[in-house]
């Protein structure tokens, strides 16, 4: 590595933090970074909390087979987005992130700075700069690979949290957000295509899919709206539509039938890209994760919040079917071989 | 590795979680693990939050030069203890932990089970089983080394948080907890001593120090008591007495003088162990971290909570001295070479 590239092992912790903090933007906490802990407002009297991690070479690669290099901004964005999505899926509004960075000493400081910018960029973009949420604290340490963990809090604004267990037979199943795009992007990144060429026509759709994989746009404002509209169950689709629908089915003790026409239409949107890669777009739609769209059930006759589309029904029984037929795809498991 | 040892790559995520959950004990959350996020009570209307990580080969070794093998219980305990301590240092009562585990596929399942038991064991032991705090959620993923991150929340019970910035000249500096013991334990683990022999007399003190390094006992109940007694500044000593006292000095714009006799007395307790290792016990007392004792300042004339001992004064100026003299030791930095 050229000697003019600044790496984290050349800086002490204080110097590195001084490069990170300005990129996080103004704190929204009552007491922000700099003490043993931060203090955030919890006006509801309850706090929603979750934690999620991105690991180098498991959740992202710095250099993909396609030649694509993952910048720090992308990893920061993705980490924030998937954490905010977990709060969204409870029907709550995100209020803070605390972030722990484990970094090899050889990590470029500029990459870490970009990661901080990506964290802040996702919060600002996905929450429309409401000034309610920011990175309020963190931790830095050394390791052999990059690990980025964020814990996220949220406020329920007086509403009940929307769990996975409240779906009832007869409820409407509805969805909002991207579906299969992130999985398509992953397939592009892992393919033998030369990424430097896929940004141009006729392959521009492939680049769009890569953007979905790298910088997901979960519909953060729609979780609270679904809760207010009476959603009986909700989760974010992070491990694949069939698998995550199955979680609602299991927790609620119901069956879920996905509308075959809806699934087919979503797959058709991805078909040109899938054909280019020799993949089946149905696999992406039914089994792909990481888009972080919202899957929710509503009582029959409920007015769906704008953005949600009816795409199935809740019925007696158990498990997930597509047009009454068991699907072939299950989705993502971190450990299954 | 013998084929009868169960490793995490042989289980899917669900099966591994089913082995972890029972070891975490009953949840204290309003909504516990199993949904996209947990929901905890925040009766104060504010939530204190922090995050802290343990990385294999940086913060602990599975096999130390001394031959000591670190069990999962120890890593779980240590992770919980140092996180609870950050909440304690704000004068708040811990209310929840969320934990992210990054594990190589070859990690023994029994080791992970022990880690879960250690997390729960530390919370129960250090908080005297108050039923206020538990592990309420988490995340599992694969990586090349073990990384354990916990985020912790706390409740201020209506009090103001105790920051690092409130010390005023004339305040009394007081401390409670272990000091230098964890550093001594680290020195034992990293030494060429054969750990299998140091558990016996005359080296039993060495084993005690190892226990301090592995299973620190921060005085979790004393942070809120110090706050109630009017502490003007507080932090937990995680990076060394001089370094952490310097943080209060810097944040408060004051100088701090540590009582030389107090420091000498604390060092004398460690002297036999230090002599065995050819170390200076003053380095452990002034520069050693990870004991997670509480360093706090109180207004002159304040009645110190039981457990706190006066060991210095806050004065005009800046920086940290010991009996008026600048110390040689600074403490721990994660990145400084």
Q: Sheet holding A38-41: strands in order across?
A: A38-41, B46-55, B147-155, B93-103, B135-142
Chain B residue numbers with beta carbons less than 8 Å from the beta carbon of A13 are 333-336
Q: A12-155 maps to which CATH number? A: 3.30.1330.10
What token pair was written down for B129? 């089983």
d(CA B184, CA B196): 17
Which among B31, B33, B35 is the top mutation candidate for probing chain A, defined by the most A β-carbons within 10 Å of its own β-carbon?
B35
Instruction: Please say if the pLDDT value at position A78 is more than 80.
Output: yes
d(CA B305, CA B296): 11
The domains spanning A12-155 and A172-322 adopt the same CATH topology: no
What token pair was written down for B216? 């620190």
A255-258 vs A319-322, strand pairing mode: parallel
pLDDT of residue A289: 86
ipTM: 0.94
A36 annotated to bind ligand: yes
Residues B34/B70, Cβ–Cβ less than 8 Å = no
- Nearest-Cα distance to chain B for A203, in Å, is 32
pLDDT of residue A187: 95
Chain A residue numbers with beta carbons less than 8 Å from the beta carbon of B42 are 42, 44-47
d(CA B40, CA B32): 8
Strand locations in B286-336 (E): 293-298, 309-315, 319-322
Instruction: Please say if the pLDDT value at position B176 is more than 70.
Output: yes
Distances (CA, A) of B27 to A224, B39, B47: 25, 11, 18
CB-based contact, B104 to chain A, within 8 Å: no
* DSSP β-bridge partners for residue B255: B315, B319
Summarize the confidence of residues B13-20 as an average pLDDT.
94
Query: What class does CATH assign to B8-155?
Result: alpha beta
Residues B29/B40, Cβ–Cβ less than 8 Å = yes
pLDDT of residue A128: 87
d(CA A107, CA A121): 21
Residues B79/B99, Cβ–Cβ less than 8 Å = yes
Per-domain residue ranges for chain B? 8-155, 172-322
Query: pLDDT of B138-173, one tens digit each?
Result: 999 999 999 999 999 999 999 999 999 999 999 999
Distances (CA, A) of A25 to A29, A122, B165: 12, 12, 22
A52 annotated to bind ligand: yes
Q: Which helix (H) or strand (E) holds A76?
A: helix A72-88
Eight-state DSSP code of residue A60: B
Which among B8, B36, B137 is the top mutation candidate for probing chain A, defined by the most A β-carbons within 10 Å of its own β-carbon?
B36
d(CA B39, CA B27): 11
Residue that is written with structure tokens 């964890």 in the block: B182
Which among B12, B18, B151, B154 is the top mutation candidate for probing chain A, defined by the most A β-carbons within 10 Å of its own β-carbon?
B151
d(CA A212, CA B214): 43
Instruction: Please say if the pLDDT value at position A162 is more than 80.
Output: yes
**Across the interface, which of A38, A46, A50 has its CB nearest the CB of B98?**
A50
**Across the interface, which of B37, B55, B86 has its CB nearest the CB of A37?**
B86
- What are residue A237's phi and psi, to 5 degrees? -85, 95
Asked if B13 lies within 8 A of A86 by C-beta distance, the reply is no
Query: pLDDT of B180-198, one tens digit each?
Result: 999 999 999 999 888 877 7
- Please state the CATH superfamily assignment of the domain spanning residues A172-322 in this structure: PurM-like C-terminal domain (3.90.650.10)
For chain A positions 150-189, those within 8 Å of chain B (CB to CB) are: 151-154, 156, 161, 163-164
Q: Point out the annotated binding site of B for ATP.
A: 138-139, 164, 238
For chain B positions 224-253, those within 8 Å of chain A (CB to CB) are: 235-236, 251
DSSP notation for A89-107? TTT-EEEEEEEEEEE-TTS
A135-142 vs A46-55, strand pairing mode: unpaired
Instruction: Name the residue in chain B with its Cα closest to that of A235.
Output: B36
CB-based contact, B294 to chain A, within 8 Å: no
């Amino acid at each position: 590595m050229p000697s003019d590239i600044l790496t984290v092992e050349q800086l002490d912790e204080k110097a590195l933090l001084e490069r990170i903090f300005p990129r996080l933007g103004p704190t929204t906490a009552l007491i922000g970074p700099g003490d043993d802990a931060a203090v955030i407002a919890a006006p509801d009297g309850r706090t929603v909390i979750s934690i999620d991690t991105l690991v180098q070479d498991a959740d992202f690669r710095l250099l993909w087979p396609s030649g694509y290099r993952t910048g720090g901004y992308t990893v920061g964005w993705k980490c924030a987005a998937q954490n905010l999505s977990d709060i969204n899926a409870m029907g709550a509004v995100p209020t803070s992130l605390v972030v722990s960075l484990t970094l090899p000493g050889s990590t470029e400081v500029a990459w870490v700075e970009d990661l901080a910018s990506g964290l802040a960029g996702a919060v600002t973009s996905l929450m429309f700069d409401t000034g309610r949420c920011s990175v309020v604290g963190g931790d830095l340490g050394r390791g052999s690979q990059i690990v980025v963990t964020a814990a996220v809090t949220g406020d329920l604004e007086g509403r009940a949290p929307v769990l996975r267990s409240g779906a009832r037979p007869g409820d409407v199943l509805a969805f909002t957000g991207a579906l299969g795009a992130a999985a398509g992007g992953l397939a592009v990144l892992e393919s033998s295509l030369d990424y430097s060429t896929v940004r141009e026509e006729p392959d521009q759709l492939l680049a769009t899919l890569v953007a979905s994989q790298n910088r997901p746009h979960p519909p953060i404002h729609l979780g609270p709206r679904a809760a207010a509209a009476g959603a009986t169950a909700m989760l974010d689709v992070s491990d694949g539509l069939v698998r995550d629908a199955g979680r609602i089915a299991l927790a609620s003790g119901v069956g879920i039938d996905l509308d075959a026409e809806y699934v087919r239409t979503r797959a058709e949107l991805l078909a040109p890209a899938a054909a280019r890669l020799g993949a089946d777009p149905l696999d992406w739609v039914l089994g792909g994760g990481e888009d972080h769209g919202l899957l929710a059930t509503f009582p029959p006759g409920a007015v769906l919040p704008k953005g949600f589309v009816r795409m199935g029904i809740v019925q007696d029984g158990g498990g997930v079917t597509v047009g009454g037929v068991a699907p072939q795809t299950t989705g993502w498991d971190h450990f299954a071989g």
